[in-house]
Amino acid sequence: MYDRNPTLESLERRIDESRQGEVYLKGEELSSGRFFYIESYGCQMNFSDSEIVASVLAAEGYAPTRDLAKAELIFINTCSIREKAEETVRKRLRIFDQLKQQRPGLLVGVLGCMAERLKKKFLEEEKLVDLVVGPDAYRDLPKLVRQAEEGHRAINVFLSREETYADISPLRLDESGVSAFISIMRGCDNMCSFCVVPFTRGRERSRDPFTVVAEAADLFEKGYREVTLLGQNVDSYHWKNPETGEQVNFARLLAMVAEVHSDLRVRFSTSHPKDMTDEVLETMAKYENICKYIHLPVQSGNSRILALMNRTYDRTWYEERIRAIRRIVPDCAISTDIICGFCSETEEEHRDTLSMMRWANFSMAYMFYYSERPGTLAARKLKDDVPLEVKKRRLQEVIALQNEISLAHNQADVGKTFKVLIEGDSKRSTDDFKGRNSQNKMIVFPKKPGLKPGDYVFVQIEEATSATLRGFIASP
């Protein structure tokens, strides 16, 4: 268990054990010795938000721990995108509730999209949690924690039109020290009919580009060699200086970050087919350090379904965007998201998705079956009428096809040599490093003395599976 007033020595030992001690020591709050534990689900944006939360809590003297037993505050940063994501969170909350029974005073907080979606219901019906905090209310956490400590139910689910946390320096929870996320915008103004995000994350707003560049420069200085610019729809990034009227779009922002240092790789996610401009593609082509990889969710290969999804593009438009990528950034890999069994989807329309996948030759895909979300346009206007078995079968077909395509895509890389950023030890063996090439493919290769995570090496590919490439160092 934990003691609230530990000696410095025992505290340092615990810091060591938590492996995040360095961060804590920097927090200069050694005397309080209070720890929080945070678990994140869902998209990269959520993981990035957890680092904002960690920063806000660190300023209050709380240090992150990976050990639940040490924590006096437990947070779960949640996702609402599909019902399954919410079920997972509920299961975790029940486990945390058992801990609460054993340890009076332990506080559990639910953050993020589920907090926003369910609001007070969490406190009233479920009674599993002490704090409910939406994605735009993290600055309020210190106050909410105090309220909860005093035995009051604490909730803030206010959605802001301005909040970008631009001035908060995230406390990096990932330990690799090589790759980091930078949030460049929040919210989403698209109204995809299946999607809960506009309701949980509010209106779209873009962050001051100079704070983005400063964050990237700071990360580079600290040894990071890759940043991923995050937004629900990065292509609609748009910032206007209120005083001078100067405007910055996504292509400009990309260039600004790429210029921080040629050894800093720049990635971004997620792009929207309706907004992805040739200017962005030209910027990618211009800078070697902007990775040649685009995640461009197609969702369906059928134009009638795309219209029902309110994606505001059709199949022809999507194909044209892929042609533009191939023309302007010929070595670019493209990945996608696919939803199977959306409302009223027929077999033939499902086969359009399969043919789209073959045509586009996606290097990778995230694939789902449709899950109706309360409050969305589809839930209100369309019937969720594809039977679950049919949805699942279509999803299986989509997965099987993507495995085939990914394998062929990867096999085409055998014999090629790629510049790889070393991320760390491979999952399977400490004799091997893992890292990615510009196209975001994971590459595993035997170590060589003198090399470390954060270094670039050239790796020649010898073998491929649908998920990984294997090779050897051709030159450091």
Residues interacting with ligand SF4, by CB under 6 A? Answer: 42-43, 45-46, 79-81, 112-113, 196-197, 200-201
- Binder of residue 371, out of ligand SF4, ligand 5AD, none (CB less than 5 to 8 A by kind): ligand 5AD
Rounded to a whole number of angstroms, the minimum distance from the CB of residue 90 to ligand SF4 is: 15
Choose the one of ligand SF4, ligand 5AD, none that binds residue 200, judging by a C-beta under 5 to 8 angstroms depending on kind: ligand SF4
* 356 forms part of the interface with ligand 5AD (CB under 6 A): no
Q: How many residues bind ligand 5AD (CB under 6 A)?
A: 12
Q: What is the DSSP string of 395-453?
A: HHHHHHHHHHHHHHHHHTTTT-EEEEEEEEE-SS-TTEEEEE-TT--EEEEE--TT--T
| Residue 298 to residue 192: CA distance in whole angstroms | 12
User: Nearest residue by C-beta to ligand SF4?
Assistant: 42
Cβ atoms of 443 and 436 within 8 Å: the answer is yes
Q: Which helix (H) or strand (E) holds 126?
A: none
Closer CB to ligand SF4, residue 42 or residue 454?
A: 42
CB nearer ligand SF4, residue 201 or residue 295:
201
A 10 A CB-CB count for 184 gives 26
**Is the distance from CB of 47 to CB of 7 less than 8 angstroms?**
no
Q: Which residues contact 218 (CB under 8 A, 6 or more apart)?
A: 169
- Nearest C-alpha neighbor of 145 from the set 77, 206, 61: 61
In angstroms, rounded to a whole number, what is the distance separating the alpha carbons of residues 348 and 38?
44
List the Cα angle 330/335/340 in 5-degree steps. Answer: 140
Give the integer Cα–Cα distance in Å for 144 and 150.
10
- Binding-site partner at residue 299 among ligand SF4, ligand 5AD, none, CB < 5 to 8 Å by type: ligand 5AD
Residue list 298-317, contact with ligand 5AD (CB under 6 A): 299
**Span interacting with ligand 5AD, options 212-220, 346-354, 367-375, 425-433, rule CB under 6 A:** 367-375
Q: Assess 195 for contact with ligand 5AD (CB under 6 A).
A: yes
Query: Looking at 170-178, 368-376, 406-414, 464-472, which segment touches ligand 5AD (CB under 6 A)?
Result: 368-376
Which of ligand 5AD, ligand SF4, none interacts with 113 (beta carbon under 5 to 8 A by kind)?
ligand SF4
Q: Which does 42 bind (CB under 5 to 8 A by kind): ligand SF4, ligand 5AD, none?
A: ligand SF4
Burial classification of residue 50, based on how many CB atoms lie within 10 Å of its CB (0-12 exposed, 13-18 middle, 19 or more buried):
buried
In the complex, the smallest distance separating the C-beta of residue 337 from ligand SF4, rounded to whole angstroms, is 10
HSE toward the beta carbon, residue 360, CA cutoff 13 A = 36
Task: CB nearer to ligand 5AD: give 284 or 298.
Answer: 298
Mapped onto helix, strand or coil, the DSSP state of residue 331 is coil
Determine the 3-state secondary structure of 265 from DSSP.
strand
339 lies in the site for ligand 5AD, by CB under 6 A: yes
Mask of contacts with ligand 5AD, 39-78, x by CB under 6 A?
A: ----------------------------------------
Amino acid at 207: R
Dist. CA 463–CA 247, nearest whole Å: 46
Amino acid at 263: D
Segment contacting ligand 5AD by CB under 6 A, of 50-58, 221-229, 319-327, 370-378: 370-378
Please list every residue from 226 through 245 that binds ligand 5AD, using CB under 6 A.
none
Computed over its alpha carbons, how large is the radius of gyration of the chain?
Answer: 23
Of residues 196 and 251, the one with the C-beta less far from ligand SF4 = 196
Tokens 């938000």 -> residue: 49
Cβ proximity to ligand 5AD: between 270 and 283 the closer is: 270
Q: What is the DSSP string of 369-387?
A: E----TTSHHHHHS---S-
Q: How far is the CB of 210 from ligand 5AD (least distance, A)?
A: 29
Nearest Cα to Cα of residue 367 among 299, 468, 293, 269: 299
Nearer to ligand 5AD, 335 or 426 (CB): 335
Q: Among ligand 5AD, ligand SF4, none, what does residue 361 contact (CB within 5–8 Å per kind)? A: none
Secondary structure element (H or E) that encloses residue 336, with its range: strand 333-340
Scan residues 278-297 and list those touching ligand 5AD (CB under 6 A): 297
Residue with smaller CB distance to ligand SF4, 231 or 453: 231
249 binds, among ligand SF4, ligand 5AD, none (CB under 5 to 8 A by kind): none
Q: Is 371 in the site for ligand 5AD (CB under 6 A)?
A: yes
Minimum Å gap between C-beta 342 and ligand 5AD is 8
Binding site for ligand 5AD (CB under 6 A): 81-82, 194-195, 297, 299, 337, 339, 368, 370-371, 373
